[in-house]
Amino acid sequence: MFTRKKDAAAPFTVLHIDASARKSGSVSRDLSYRIVSGLMNGNKGARLIRRDLADGVPFIDETFTAAINTPEDQRTAAQKEALRVSDQLVAELQAADAVVIGAPIYNFSVPAVLKAWIDQVARAGVTFSYTENGPVGLLENKKAYVALASGGTQVGSDIDFASGWLKHIMGFIGIHDVEMVAADRTMMDDQSVSRAEAAAEKLAA
């Protein structure tokens, strides 16, 4: 059971993110919920932050990119507004001890809304920094759990462009402790979901 805290006085905080377009009947949502339930039950007084990406995430645009390259005290009102959602999403990540992501694999990769979320939170000087030795993630002492689901793509195969990318991007922003559970090839393997359900519950136990 992951119980590490940044501040002993602060409650253990779980950030629960779902990216499936399906609000019901989603395997990835069910798996992520099982992991979150285990974490919440195992950490008395834990706080939950919920972010359902199916409700919408703005894509970055020219105003956004200009804003992140402008010193904070020099940003225009439009630039501040362009970063409003990003600032909120970053704050959720910074507050979290554990990040749980439920993600289906669409067309061999992650849903567009999950990529949009990453584009909103991967910010130089905020969640990572450039150094003479390359980029360094700034989100430390956190753990990520990723619940994947696919109809036909085998996780870890040459046609899986989701799991490796998610693990890489978590490490890029400083979250190197990443655990994954997958219900993959569900259209071909009748036991895939049940195995993943058991693994998800064990993962957060």
Judge whether 194 is annotated as a binding position. no
Judge whether 150 is annotated as a binding position. no
Spatial CB neighbours of 95, under 8 Å, sequence gap ≥ 6: 13, 15, 49
The Cα–Cα gap between 7 and 13 comes to 11
Judge whether 26 is annotated as a binding position. yes
In order of 2, 35, 185, the CA distances from 202 in angstroms are 12, 8, 21
Which H or E element spans position 168?
A: helix 163-172
Judge whether 20 is annotated as a binding position. yes
**Contact 56/21 with Cβ under 8 angstroms?**
no
List the structure tokens of 17.
């993110």
The Cα–Cα gap between 110 and 108 comes to 7
- How distant is the alpha carbon of residue 157 from its chain centre? 21
**Tokens 């970055």 belong to residue:** 60
Which residues participate in the annotated binding site? 20, 26-28
Which residues participate in the annotated binding site for FMN? 20, 26-28
